[in-house]
Amino acid sequence: MKRQKLCKDEATFVKGKPQGEVNYWPCEHQDEKAAAEHQKYKVYPIGQIANYCKHVPYRSEKKTLLSKTGREGFHVFQYTFQMPHDEKRQTVMWDYNIGLVRITPFFKALEYPKLLAPVALLTLSRQRLRGCLARIPD
């Protein structure tokens, strides 16, 4: 029987134990303000993110991940959220070993087209840092 291919944007929640060292744990501390925001954006599975980890194989024409890192995929924690005005659930995932974060769901939730994503990231960074950006040397 052929295995069904999963969509990379789709969350699958199966309890498991992390593989290897966990350097980037989820921050699941909640005060009243954080809990209200988590409810507003329907964050799932809040308080239990570390219980749901998975392996995501790396598939690319370039095949550079293995040669650069010695790894064939990512070991991730994940959670979902939903914008108040939208029915679509977005899946956030990050590699708990090396810290890579998939940021596409944030742009999709804010309805930024792909071409504007770099501009949006810069805009959001400026807003978050109150205009204090330093140029990163080449």
The 3-state secondary structure of 6-34 reads CCCCCCCCCCCCCCCCCCCCCCCCCCHHH
Residue 56: strand pairing partners = 74
As a whole number of angstroms, the distance between CA 86 and CA 4 comes to 27
* Tokens read off for 70: 């010695």
* Tokens read off for 24: 């980037």
| Residue 95 phi, psi (nearest 5) | -80, 115
As a whole number of angstroms, the distance between CA 10 and CA 93 comes to 10
Q: How confident is the model at residue 116 (pLDDT cuts 50, 70, 90)?
A: low
As a whole number of angstroms, the distance between CA 10 and CA 45 comes to 14
The average pLDDT across 18-45 equals: 89
Task: Tell if the pTM clears 0.75, that is, is over it.
Answer: no
**Is 82's pLDDT higher than 90?**
yes
User: Quick one: pLDDT at residue 20?
Assistant: 87
The average pLDDT across 115-120 equals: 60
Per-residue pLDDT tens over the stretch 92-105: 998 998 888 888 88
